[in-house]
Structure 1
C-alpha cells in the first residue's frame, strides 16, 4: 500500500480534532512542559474539554495532562518488566534491580511528607531508605539520592499527581495506583498514522515493547512504515498552526512534517521554539514574549505567510493568548 505524506497529515488533522474538535486525541495525553503547553494543545484544537484532567509525570518522565480514566492503563504500559526497560528510565545511570521499582512505589506512598511535597522533599523522604544501587552519587547535587528517572516513574506508579500549574514540580499526596488495561500503543497508531516502531518507543521512553497491535506494512514517499487500521480521508491540511514541538500532530517520523533544515531549527536539544505549521507542514519556528498586556508572537518568515494561513495563524495567536492570559492579554504577530 502506497500513500503520500499529505495523505498521512490529512489523516492526523482529521482524527486529532484539528477540524471538528474531536476529543479522542486526549488518549495520548498532552505534554505540559513548559507549563500551559498542555492547555495550548487542547485550545488550538478548539476541544472545549471541560472535564477534569490530571497532571502527572508520565511518558519519558515529563509532565503530561491525561484523562483520569487513562492513567491506570498508562501505568501498565510504562511499568518496566525487563532490565532493558528499566535501563531506559535510568538513562546513563546503571539500572538497579526490578524489585527496587516496587520498593520506590511503596516508600513514596508510605513516606509521603504531608498533603503536598516538592521534588526535593519527596526524594529526601525515600532516598535514605533505598539500597545504594538505587541511590548513586549525583555530581550536580553533590549527594546520593534516588535515580532521577526511577523517581519520576515511581510517582506515576504510586498514584502521585502534580499540582495543576507551575514550573516547579509540586506533588500531591498519593491517590489510587491501580493498573488497568491499555490501548495506548493502538491509540498512537490511530492518531499518528504510519510510524516506525522506534518512533513509538522513543515517544514512550520506556524501552523495547513486548507486544504490538496488529500492524501492516505501508510505503510513504518511498519509505517503509507500519500502519494500524485504515487512514481516514481528511478534507484538507491545516492552513496554519502554532504548535509546541511535542504536540501530538508532530509525533511519528519527523521527515513527514518537516524538511531537515527546518527540523534542526525547531527540534533542539534544549529550549526548542514552537513549530510554525502552514498547509500541514512545519515551515518555521516561533517564540513568544510578553509586553504589558500584549503577547507577542515572533514568527519566522511571517511576511511571507499569506492568505488562509496568515488568517489562521492570527486566530491561533488569539487562542494562545487566551490560554496564558485568561482573556486579559491581546496578541500580536510580528516577524522573527
Structure 2
C-alpha cells in the first residue's frame, strides 16, 4: 500500500480526537503529564473541558508521569511488568540486572512501607531500602547512597498500585482511594492501541515509546510505504479531514509519536526535541512548523510563538483559539491569553 505523509497525519489527527469529537481516545495510550498540567493541556486541545477529573496520575510508560483511566490500570500493570531478563534490563540502565523475583520484593515493600497516606519519593525510598537486598539497591554515585534502581523504583510504584498527586513539581505518592484491582488477564493492547492511534510506524518507534524492552507479542502488522519509506501498519489508514489548521502541542503529545520525519523537517525537529528544556511544538496544517513557550504574569498567560508574524489566515485564528483553551485548562477560566512573537 502506498500512502502519503499527509494521509497518515490526517488519519492520526482524526483517530486521536483532535477535531474535538473524541477527546479521551488518546487515554488508551496514557498521556504524559510532566510537567504537571501538560496532560490536561493535551486533553484540553482535544476538547476535554473537565480537566483531569476522573483520571489517575501514575508513573507508567518509561517511568514517566502519565494520566490514565483508572479502569485501564490493571491491564497496564500486567503489560508493563517485565517477563524476561531483557525486559527488566530496559528498566535498569547501566546497573546489573537483578532477578525478576526482586521486582515483587520491591512491590511488596512499597505496599507495606508507604509512610502515611502520602510520601515524597525520598521518603518512600528511605522506607523500603533497608529491607531490600543490595542487588536491587546498588550504590548510586550521584546520590551517594544505596537505593532501588531508579526506573525499577518507578515501575514498582505502578505495580504496587501507588498513585501520584496531580499537582506539584516534585513527585508525591499517595495511597489509592480504592483498593487496586489485580492485574487483568487478556491480550496485550498497548502496542495495538499504539498502531491504531499513531498509524504506520517502525518497530523502533514503538519500542522507544513503550520503553519496556524487546517485545515478544506484536499485533498483526503489514508493510506499507509512506512517502516512499517502508513502515508497518496494523489497520487501514482511512480517509479523514485535514488536521486542524493550528495546534499548540507539548513535545510529548500523542500526535507527535511515531516516525518523526512525518511531522517535522530535521531542522525544525532539532529546535523542538532537545535533551533538556524542549519548547512546545507549533503545528500548522498537520506538521510542526516552529516552537512556542509561555509565561504567566498576573492573570495573563502570554504565548510566545516563533514566527508568529508569518502565521496567517485560518492557522492564525486556530492558534489563538488554542491559546484560549490552554489558558482555560491552566487557570480554570481565570486567565486571559495573549499571543506574541517569540
Alignment match, 2:220: 214
Alignment match, 2:309: 303
1:254-283 residue CA offsets vs partner (Å, 9 max, x unmatched): 000000000000001111110000010001
> What SS does the corresponding residue of 2:283 show, helix, strand or coil?
strand
Alignment match, 1:203: 209
Q: Which moved more, 1:36-45 or 1:21-30?
A: 21-30
Q: Which aligned segments of 4 or more residues in structure 1 are displaced greater than 2 angstroms?
A: 47-51
Using the alignment, how far apart are the partners of 1:20 and 1:329 within structure 2?
22
Alignment match, 2:180: 176
Whether the 8 Å contact between 2:117 and 2:175 is mirrored in structure 1 is yes
Whether the 8 Å contact between 2:303 and 2:337 is mirrored in structure 1 is yes
Extract unaligned runs of 5+ from structure 1.
none
Whether the 8 Å contact between 1:244 and 1:274 is mirrored in structure 2 is yes
Using the alignment, how far apart are the partners of 2:251 and 2:93 within structure 1?
22
> What SS does the corresponding residue of 2:163 show, helix, strand or coil?
coil
TM-score, with structure 2 as normaliser = 0.96
TM-score, with structure 1 as normaliser = 0.98
Using the alignment, how far apart are the partners of 1:179 and 1:210 within structure 2?
19
> What SS does the corresponding residue of 2:135 show, helix, strand or coil?
helix
1:286-310 residue CA offsets vs partner (Å, 9 max, x unmatched): 1111122110111111000000000
Written as runs of structure 1 = structure 2, the 5 A alignment for 1:1-336 is: 1-22=1-22, 23-48=24-49, 52-173=54-175, 175-180=179-184, 181=186, 182-336=188-342
What's the offset of the Cα at 1:324?
1.3
Whether the 8 Å contact between 1:17 and 1:47 is mirrored in structure 2 is no
Using the alignment, how far apart are the partners of 1:258 and 1:92 within structure 2?
32
Distance 1:177 1:61, change over 3 A: farther
Aligned residues: 336
Whether the 8 Å contact between 1:161 and 1:173 is mirrored in structure 2 is yes
TM-align CA RMSD: 1.2
1:47-84 residue CA offsets vs partner (Å, 9 max, x unmatched): 34575000000011000000111111111111111111
Extract unaligned runs of 5+ from structure 2.
none
What's the offset of the Cα at 1:21?
2.5
1:109-163 residue CA offsets vs partner (Å, 9 max, x unmatched): 1111111111011101111111111111112211111111110000000000111
Whether the 8 Å contact between 1:14 and 1:232 is mirrored in structure 2 is no
What's the offset of the Cα at 1:14?
0.7
